[in-house]
Structure 1
């Protein structure tokens, strides 16, 4: 019987967690777990399931019984992978579960920036259409996506799915090389060359030491005037102070963020408080369609059962 603890199960919303329960699994779920509670709750655990709870090297060193960390996410920046390796703790993630949900949110955000749906809805509710001397109200300019260029930064499954939607809208898709690369792979442009050509930039890369604050003042200055930025990946990819300045100064025409560096953000977060119609922020929910959350549960269950059967599935460590 494997003692399995899900430290932040409420992050799954109303998803059905019953696939995680099995004859060989004793499952304990906590809605949320603070850093001070982690050690106590995992002391007798063989398997830990976490979404965003941080498991650092010090914590892992104090959990000799722990043998598997199952991430209820694709990104692993909350897990010290070197520490897991040192202590022989396998780490597995989930993959591909949000390949439709995230690209859909990318375009929901993008269409709000280009079609001003919420502004027009507010105008109708305020009676401004009723007061119009014409049959229509044209107070907010609408921009077509057809013929525009989208730069995809991070061309994994999510980036590829987003590119397909962009092409369906009649957009041209560009791929960029990493900023410090000396050679461009086939089909990619140098990072800053691509930025200068893009009308829309959509981020889909992982947060690593090499990508942290990838979009900073230099990157914003290199972007095409009137460009839009969409981030459904990780908040740390963006220097948020530089982004706010770029929006305020008009260097960027707009930005839509589903992620921030600190989540949840403090009430006084500058971007949350910014009264900018060209800035949209949603609460890290692009991944969380009902269908995607249930696919995630099924993958978590498959990862747990593979481990129980002596195998590893979707292993980040060890890698074979």
Structure 2
């Protein structure tokens, strides 16, 4: 069998067994999709990515007919450009539900319990000097925006910590029927707001400056979903003015982040879009990414057998 040439994004670190399975069906080359030059992608018939693919890069992919994205949301890839090139773009099932939910609660606990300031004091020899009391979560109201699998798991963990849960409705007209509240009501009631919504149908931030101003004084905001869900400049203003207790951010409007004024604030914790990044989740994501590439190849060559 004359195997198709498959480019694997260098950020996708395959285990030996995973690479061997892929090599049963493809000739595999590792490519740094963050450092593309010229028409380096022109020869590849398939690409498996976890980095952004711009329209300019896709326009050079003359031989490519399939792009597998190691993510549920395929917004890493310029869809219009791929369609114009006749390339099928396929993501994977939503995975990492437990990982992201745990990360969400970890950020919340780290902020509520003042872990970074407390650690910094001890590390610098200042012991308890200048520290403020931490924050108990029992009895507080946790507002969840986006109630899919991750939002549901966060609610379960929140209940276990003794928090009251309020859920924002995605549709104002059906808020009461669904037992949920309009977004504005959730923001006004919640002591902690956590974002788990999609940006697919949004034309701008869900939490605008006006919405952020509805938050309770000393509220905590957590975003482990998408940076585009919130006006980060308005969030920074609210934090600097002392209107919020703190924020935990795993995602940003532009990534990767090399400079961030938000990350310099003492009541903000930032992580590099790795809420999903556990051994267990990565293994499952790689397995499905590989299997879907094999399934695509099989659909094009029904009599295909590995070698």
Q: What's the TM-score bracket when you normalise by the shorter of the two chains?
A: 0.7 to 0.9
* 19 and 219 in structure 1: CA distance in 2 versus 1, 3 angstrom threshold: farther
- Contact conserved, 1:20 with 1:300, CA < 8 A, in 2? no
**Cα separation, 2, equivalents of 1:79 and 1:102:** 22
Checking the alignment, whether the CA contact within 8 Å between 2:97 and 2:150 is kept in structure 1 is: yes
Secondary structure of 1:225's partner?
Answer: coil
Aligned counterparts of 1:19 and 1:98: Cα–Cα separation in 2: 24
- Structure 2: distance between partners of 1:236 and 1:116: 27
2:179 paired residue among 165, 174, 187: 187
Answer yes or no: is 1:108 the counterpart of 2:97: no
| TM-score normalised by structure 1 residue count | 0.83
Paired residues of 1:61 and 1:83 also in contact (CA < 8 A):
yes
Q: 1:250 to 1:127 in 2, by over 3 A?
A: closer
- Paired residues in the alignment total 296
Query: Residue 159 of structure 2 contacts residue 165 of structure 2 at CA under 8 Å; is this kept in 1?
Result: yes
Note closer, same or farther for the CA distance 1:127–1:83 as it changes in structure 2 (3 Å cut): closer
User: Which sections of structure 1, spanning at least 5 residues, go unmatched?
Assistant: 312-320
Q: Contact (CA 8 Å) 1:147, 1:172: kept in 2 or not?
A: yes
**TM-score, structure 2 length as denominator?**
0.86
Aligned mate of 2:289, from 300, 304, 309:
300
- Tell me what 1:25 maps to: 26
- What's the C-alpha RMSD, in Å, of the aligned pairs? 2.5
Cα distance change on mapping 1:69 and 1:122 into 2, 3 Å: same
Give yes or no for contact 1:119–1:140 (8 Å, CA) kept in 2. no
1:1-320 matches, cutoff 5 A: 1-6=3-8, 8-9=9-10, 11-12=11-12, 17-18=18-19, 21-34=22-35, 36-37=37-38, 40-56=39-55, 59-129=57-127, 139-178=131-170, 181-184=172-175, 186-208=178-200, 210=202, 212-267=204-259, 269-272=260-263, 274=264, 276-310=265-299
**How far does residue 123 in structure 1 lie from its aligned partner after superposition?**
2.9
